[in-house]
Amino acid sequence: MQAIVPVLYQPAISDNRAMAEIGTCELRLARRGDAALLARMSRDYIEQGLSWRWQASALKEKISAAESVVLVADLELASMRFVGGFAVMDFPCDKAQLNLLAVHPNLRRHGIGNKLMRWLHKSARIAAVEHIELQVRADNLQARRFYHQLGYQEETLLPNYYDGKLAAYQMKLRLHND
């Protein structure tokens, strides 16, 4: 693994950089107090160029909902803990829907996205979910590659899916619950 330059996700101190390796990365369920931070991460890393749908109120609803999981990757660097990534998945019945997934730009390609997704896949198997669906911007080649390596397949192109102007691919992972 190469050295990274993490930036704490707080705009007011965004120049406060530290050079270090990731100390630990632990997953935990989000708390309502995380909602504002996760909403900003969604706006800046996922919803760029679109209207901001996933605001703090929407994240709070997901954090409280019985059929949703909001998972946070807590990182420790130089004795400081901060949120390096997160994911939101719904488990409505025999299928699951990934709504949001993001990792801080300076922390990508260190396995955090995979760690979040593998935890969710394991939970989906325990819940006897048959398949997981997600929608990804058609122009987001990096995320599409990421999902491919996890076994997701592109099923349908959805023109004008985001804000009536951007295309998405519907991707699906079939889980084997045997």
**Quick one: which segment of 18-26, 32-40, 55-63, 95-103 binds ligand COA (CB under 6 A)?**
95-103
Instruction: Supply the minimum distance, in Å, between the C-beta of residue 114 and ligand COA.
Output: 3
Q: Which of 22, 25, 38, 45 binds ligand COA (CB under 6 A)?
A: 45
Q: Are strands 131-137 and 166-174 parallel, antiparallel or unpaired?
A: antiparallel
Select the residue interacting with ligand COA from 113, 120, 124, 173 (CB under 6 A).
113
Q: 16: which DSSP letter?
A: -
Q: 35 vs 112, which CB is nearer to ligand COA?
A: 112
Residue nearest to ligand COA (CB): 113
Taking CB under 6 A as the rule, does residue 108 contact ligand COA? yes
CA distance 163 to 156: 18
Q: Does 17 interact with ligand COA (rule: CB under 6 A)? A: no
102 is an interface residue for ligand COA by CB under 6 A: yes
Q: Other C-beta atoms within 10 Å of 133: how many? A: 15
Strands of 166-174's sheet in order across? 24-29, 68-77, 80-90, 95-103, 131-137, 166-174, 153-162
Q: Which residues contact 156 (CB under 8 A, 6 or more apart)?
A: 169, 170
d(CA 39, CA 41): 5
Query: Whole-number minimum distance, CB 151 to ligand COA, in Å?
Result: 12
Query: Any contact of residue 136 with ligand COA (CB under 6 A)?
Result: yes
The nearest distance, CB 178 to ligand COA, in angstroms, is 26
Of 128 and 141, the one with the shorter C-beta distance to ligand COA is 141
At closest approach, how far in Å is the CB of 144 from ligand COA?
A: 9
Instruction: Provide the residue type at 41 as one letter.
Output: M
Cα angle 123, 1, 153 (rounded to 5 degrees) comes to 40
Which chain residues interact with ligand COA by CB under 6 A?
Answer: 45-46, 101-103, 108-114, 134, 136, 140, 142-143, 145-146, 149
